Structure 1
């Protein structure tokens, strides 16, 4: 059943590849360009610029070059290391993720430099996907990159949601996040094509919303830091910047209704829902009854894993079945191990399954949990599989899954038991997929 689970997950990832998605929204037509619902007459366009950031941005840029060809005048995109493609016109910068590095700063600076050239008859096409919050950054006055890196690390460690992290990140940016990129691009028209890696697909949160109006505030960002007891753990420069913002001594991010957005058009082109639909189709083809449980899974990974195993126990539908879930859990790090939220989810699920099934029991379910971006935490794996094969090897090697879970050490457990799901870069990113096969 493991092979079937991997086939179903792979079908989900294929369905949200930029080469399939972007062509539905971008094409050359006689006399002009069709971008989303906007048609631009050739004589009304001066230059076309491409910008972008995220784990899928290089694949999106490659497809844009195939569609638009020599109509692109210049472009810069920033993607994660090992995610680049050879491009003809668009410059590609690889940078750090999930913590920004010098290249993230370079990418942000180069995109701002390019946008400063944009005029009223120019069209800027923004290719945005998950990961952009770290890959494309700027340092506000008085804040250094190492200080920003501390904030990113603290937010990753404390269990903050992606919404919370990106509200803080938007208010530690002076020219990119939270719609601020449009201030530089004005008066050009900006068309953004966005892949969602956030539950519910809120455009203002995905990639910290560089081209979207921002309803959040400095005060809201400060409350998030207080919630996780972070102010005392952050550099003085960070605190000072946020306090200046709360005191209205720094301009807020542009809000809904700002005329800045009159020439900005945002299109969501890929989501977890699309991936789950493709997974269900593959499951049906493999003779499993597909049941999509949710595409908004969130919460602590180990808690949600326990709940899922309980749901499996209560399932009384057609068998064999494939239960499908999408979303993104979080992990509060308490141990010193290595892993990611998907591997932790799979390990916690394995612990629960051990209580209910013997290793070689015929009706033992298989649970695969993996990220559609091919990355799970700071590891080489997309996720992991919890099945009888893993349980058998763990028993043979006298490995206790509960001990590894206590140390947040899921990668080392699955590395030793053959349960890692390794895909390499997938060049897309629509959160996580969980596949449960019930014989």
Structure 2
């Protein structure tokens, strides 16, 4: 069953690879190029430039270059360390995620430097995937990188949703929240996006660098207050947000702004596409299937308990494979190592222990993994467990509860051999949770 569940998970990842997606949006003819369904004669524009950022952007750049070839004048994209692929015309930089580093700042400066060459007769293709909020890091002149890093780290560990985190990020930047378009000099801008957020909200993905922003400085400050970060936030950050609220710093551009009149934005992949592909493979392996329509957005522990309850209370035909997607929130305490997917599976393991599952003949397997191949600050994608895992923890007296309290799922699953490790997948459409009961 464990082999099956990993095959099902991998099918979801394979369906949202840039190589499977970009050919629908980019085409070359003898005398023209097509971008997002719009046809441009080569004599009607001057140059095509490619920019972008995200965990999947290197593979996106590779495919874009493969399709458009010499039609590309120049390009530069930024991805996470270890995600680089070989390209010829598009330069690939690597920077840090989820807390930005100096290379992320350099990457933004290099991107803006390239955009200085762009004119209104050019086309800019902006490739975006999740992770860009950190990988592209610009620091307003009143702030320091250290203060921005500290703020990002506090937000990530606070339990705030990605929407809330990115509201703050957008208001500590001069390119996020639609502001990147200000540097495109009136060129046609096509944004091709792999979505990694619930409901595919365009102004949340990568902090929405090329789309109107619906949030304000006031909203950003309210996030800080909601998660009780006011006392730990760097003073310079609080001061900067307060200046924005008072109108001393320009607000991000909103819907209806003329700035966006030459922009087209397309989501080319999302979590739903991955779920459907996973379901197709599960059916081919002989499982009944159920996709849970609700996207996971709540607390990791609560969501894991709900998933286990649904899986083991299922009364339909079996064996059953239940699939869900999303991105839970995790408020980190303790000094352990792990990520939300590993924590999700560890909570599931604790629930199975409480249910005395070893006293039954039921066979099961449970997996939760990040489609980008990384889960938190670890080399694991997530974790996958079955009856043997539960038996292993009990026989070796591994204190599941202690590992949960310390948010140390990685070290427990490292001992039991249940870490799911794929390496960088070159895509990113949130997380997938899969449960099988036979």
Q: Hey, what does 2:128 align to over in structure 1?
A: 128
Q: Hey, what does 2:231 align to over in structure 1?
A: 232
Q: In the alignment, does 2:219 pair up with 1:216?
A: no
| 1:249-398 matched pairs, under 5 angstroms | 249-294=248-293, 296-359=295-358, 361-398=360-397
Alpha-carbon offset, residue 30 of structure 1: 3.1
Residue deviations 1:225-283 (CA, integer Å, cap 9, x gap): 01011122111211111111101111111100001111010000000000000000000
| 1:179-218 matched pairs, under 5 angstroms | 179-218=178-217
Alpha-carbon offset, residue 357 of structure 1: 3.8
Alpha-carbon offset, residue 358 of structure 1: 3.5
| 1:129-144 matched pairs, under 5 angstroms | 129-144=129-144
Q: Hey, what does 2:425 align to over in structure 1?
A: 426
SS in 2 for 1:294: coil
Q: 1: distance between equivalents of 2:279 and 2:136?
A: 34
Q: 2: distance between equivalents of 1:360 and 1:344?
A: 24
SS in 1 for 2:33: strand
SS in 1 for 2:358: coil
SS in 2 for 1:386: strand
Query: Which is further off, 29-38 or 186-195?
Result: 29-38
Alpha-carbon offset, residue 159 of structure 1: 0.5
Q: Hey, what does 1:113 align to over in structure 2?
A: 113
Q: Hey, what does 1:12 align to over in structure 2?
A: 12
Residue deviations 1:152-177 (CA, integer Å, cap 9, x gap): 00001110100000000000002x10
Alpha-carbon offset, residue 144 of structure 1: 0.9
Q: Hey, what does 1:92 align to over in structure 2?
A: 92
Checking the alignment, whether the CA contact within 8 Å between 1:158 and 1:333 is kept in structure 2 is yes
TM-score, normalisation: structure 2:
0.98
SS in 1 for 2:242: helix
Alpha-carbon offset, residue 314 of structure 1: 2.0
Residue deviations 1:347-406 (CA, integer Å, cap 9, x gap): 001111112243374313211000000000001100001211211221232102111111
Alpha-carbon offset, residue 295 of structure 1: 5.2
Q: 2: distance between equivalents of 1:256 and 1:30?
A: 37
Alpha-carbon offset, residue 117 of structure 1: 1.3
Query: Which is further off, 253-262 or 25-34?
Result: 25-34
Alpha-carbon offset, residue 317 of structure 1: 1.0
Q: Hey, what does 2:34 align to over in structure 1?
A: 34
Checking the alignment, whether the CA contact within 8 Å between 2:2 and 2:385 is kept in structure 1 is no
Residue deviations 1:10-53 (CA, integer Å, cap 9, x gap): 00000000010111111112321111122211111101100010
Q: Hey, what does 1:172 align to over in structure 2?
A: 172
Checking the alignment, whether the CA contact within 8 Å between 1:272 and 1:295 is kept in structure 2 is no
Q: Hey, what does 2:3 align to over in structure 1?
A: 3
Checking the alignment, whether the CA contact within 8 Å between 2:290 and 2:321 is kept in structure 1 is yes
Checking the alignment, whether the CA contact within 8 Å between 1:273 and 1:295 is kept in structure 2 is no
Q: Hey, what does 2:43 align to over in structure 1?
A: 43
Checking the alignment, whether the CA contact within 8 Å between 2:287 and 2:321 is kept in structure 1 is yes
Residue deviations 1:405-429 (CA, integer Å, cap 9, x gap): 1111100110011110000000100
Q: 2: distance between equivalents of 1:362 and 1:203?
A: 46
SS in 2 for 1:253: coil
Residue deviations 1:197-237 (CA, integer Å, cap 9, x gap): 00000011000000010010000000000101112211121
Q: 2: distance between equivalents of 1:295 and 1:416?
A: 33
SS in 2 for 1:9: helix
- The count of aligned residue pairs is 438
Q: 1: distance between equivalents of 2:375 and 2:58?
A: 20
SS in 1 for 2:49: strand
Alpha-carbon offset, residue 186 of structure 1: 2.4
SS in 2 for 1:73: strand
Q: Hey, what does 1:22 align to over in structure 2?
A: 22
**What are the ranges of 5 or more consecutive residues in structure 2 without an aligned counterpart?**
none
Q: 1: distance between equivalents of 2:153 and 2:286?
A: 44
| 1:151-166 matched pairs, under 5 angstroms | 151-166=151-166
**What are the ranges of 5 or more consecutive residues in structure 1 without an aligned counterpart?**
none
Alpha-carbon offset, residue 90 of structure 1: 0.7
Checking the alignment, whether the CA contact within 8 Å between 1:46 and 1:122 is kept in structure 2 is yes
Q: 2: distance between equivalents of 1:278 and 1:360?
A: 34
Q: 2: distance between equivalents of 1:4 and 1:386?
A: 12
